[in-house]
Amino acid sequence: MSLGEGLRMAWRALAANRMRAGLTMLGIIIGVAAVIALITAGQAATSSVTSSVQALGSNLISVTPVRSAGVILYPEDARWLLEVVPQIRADAPLVEASVTASYETVSWSTTLIGTTPAALAIEGRKLAAGRFLDAQDLRLDRSVAVLGQTVAQNLFPGRNPLGQTVSVNGTEFTVVGVLQSVGGAFGANADNVIIVPISAAEWVAGTTELTGIEAEARSAAIAPLAVAQITAVLNHRFATTNAAAVISQDQILSTLSTVTATLTLMLGGIAGISLLVGGIGIMNIMLVTVSERTREIGLRKAMGASRRAILSQFLIESALLSLAGGAIGVVVGIALSLLLTHLLGAGGVSLSAVLLALGFSLLVGIVFGIWPAANASRLDPVQALYHS
């Protein structure tokens, strides 16, 4: 018996019981659609996180002092670091504080970042309007501020913030620039900032301690060396083995992508379980089908069908059932993925997820069809034929 003949037979058997076939397929449809949609969501998260980290500047190294080890850095340490570590091209000290910014009657919780003009290039950010901090601002101790998109939109809805005065924890700043959004649903925090000259931030925060230093390696290739060098000089200076957490953007990226890959795998796995449940549904229905069609099996055997022919007949039937469910599931899954992509602003349908889901559904049909089909093929012709 040829495969074409088997497919034709299976198609007729399924068509004869449409309602049942449809309900059985539903399990596979849901499973496959879920696998595709969730993998798409996971990959959207990955690409979104990756792109927002990459937007931070390609050779970024962040240095965070370990306070519990008694390590405290001050603004002049940034200048010192630039001198003693030849692998870095620029660096910027950071003083951060959680603050409430207000304009007229509107208040907004945000993060104040005090830094130097070098920070713009190091973080690889761009201006949407106005200018960034400059050397004059620092030298003359000007109270100027550059707003992140989120802050600008919330304090100045539909208005131009440039030239306006915002109050940050009671201290007034003149807005001189607005940053472009770094984009991505998961990168929202980088847009909720107010950047001011470091001395002004020290005043607002009431401390001259740095939250950290951001440095830029001379090249991506040299970044690991820069990380090692920064670590070494800080450890040496503070006579400890863990003066600071020194992390390059590469490391952040690889850590994050491990996390998101795990997330994607988990989501896919959860969806895979529903496919498995769909497979059990198929097995159940195939067992019912085989027992209902015992006489037919007996007759086919009497007409000369070999065990193999009966086995493949029912195996093809269950495989077709789950593959058809898989195909419908792919259509539903792609529709869901497009919707998710639209909502998250990232992602896109993953071809590998589609192929994986289809392949898995075929596998499920065969694996869960084997037992019922083997039962059918093992039936004794006489007993099957005279089965009532």
Partner 1 sequence: MTDVVRVEDLRRTFRTGAIEVQAVRGVSFAVTEGAMVAIMGPSGSGKTTLMNMLGCLDRPTGGHYFLGGEDVARKGDDALARIRNRRIGFIFQSYNLLPALNALENVELPLVYRGLAAGERHLLAAQALSEVGLGRLTSFRPYELSGGQQQRVAIARALAGTPDLLLADEPTGNLDSASGEEVLDLFLELHRGGRTLIIVTHDEQVALHCERIIRLRDGEVLLDQPVDARQRRTKGDLGSRAVAP
Task: Give me the least distance between CB of 349 and partner 1, in Å please.
Answer: 39
Q: 159 or 295: whose CB is closer to partner 1?
A: 295
Q: 125 or 301: whose CB is closer to partner 1?
A: 301
The residues binding partner 1 (CB under 8 A) are 1-2, 5, 12-13, 16, 295-296, 299-309, 381-382, 385
Write the CA distances from 234 to 71, 186, 207, 357, integer angstroms: 9, 32, 21, 51
Neighbours of 170 (CB within 10 A): 9
Question: Helix (H, G, I), strand (E, B), or coil: what is residue 85?
Answer: coil
Under 8 Å between Cβ of 56 and 249: yes
Task: Give me the least distance between CB of 362 and partner 1, in Å please.
Answer: 25
In whole angstroms, give the CA distance from residue 325 to residue 165.
61
Q: 273 or 302: whose CB is closer to partner 1?
A: 302
Q: 159 or 308: whose CB is closer to partner 1?
A: 308
First to last CA, the chain: 28
Burial of 239 (0-12, 13-18, 19+ CB in 10 A): exposed
Q: 16 or 140: whose CB is closer to partner 1?
A: 16
Residue 150, both tokens: 């989120």
Q: 21 or 346: whose CB is closer to partner 1?
A: 21
Burial of 139 (0-12, 13-18, 19+ CB in 10 A): exposed
List the one residue out of 223, 198, 16, 52 whose CA is nearest residue 125.
52
Under 8 Å between Cβ of 88 and 215: yes
Q: 6 or 184: whose CB is closer to partner 1?
A: 6
Length of the chain: 388
Q: 287 or 309: whose CB is closer to partner 1?
A: 309
Task: Give me the least distance between CB of 9 and partner 1, in Å please.
Answer: 8
Give the bridge partners for 49, in sequence order: none
Task: Give me the least distance between CB of 332 and partner 1, in Å please.
Answer: 30
Residue by residue, DSSP assigns 177-235 as EEEPP--SGGGGGGGSEEEEEHHHHHHHHT----SEEEEEESSTTTHHHHHHHHHHHHH
Task: Give me the least distance between CB of 286 and partner 1, in Å please.
Answer: 17
In whole angstroms, give the CA distance from residue 95 to residue 198.
7
Task: Give me the least distance between CB of 379 and partner 1, in Å please.
Answer: 11
List the one residue out of 154, 110, 150, 113 whose CA is nearest residue 132.
113
Task: Give me the least distance between CB of 299 and partner 1, in Å please.
Answer: 5
Task: Give me the least distance between CB of 312 and partner 1, in Å please.
Answer: 12
Q: 17 or 50: whose CB is closer to partner 1?
A: 17
Residue linked to tokens 């309007």: 129
Task: Give me the least distance between CB of 375 and partner 1, in Å please.
Answer: 15
Under 8 Å between Cβ of 185 and 341: no
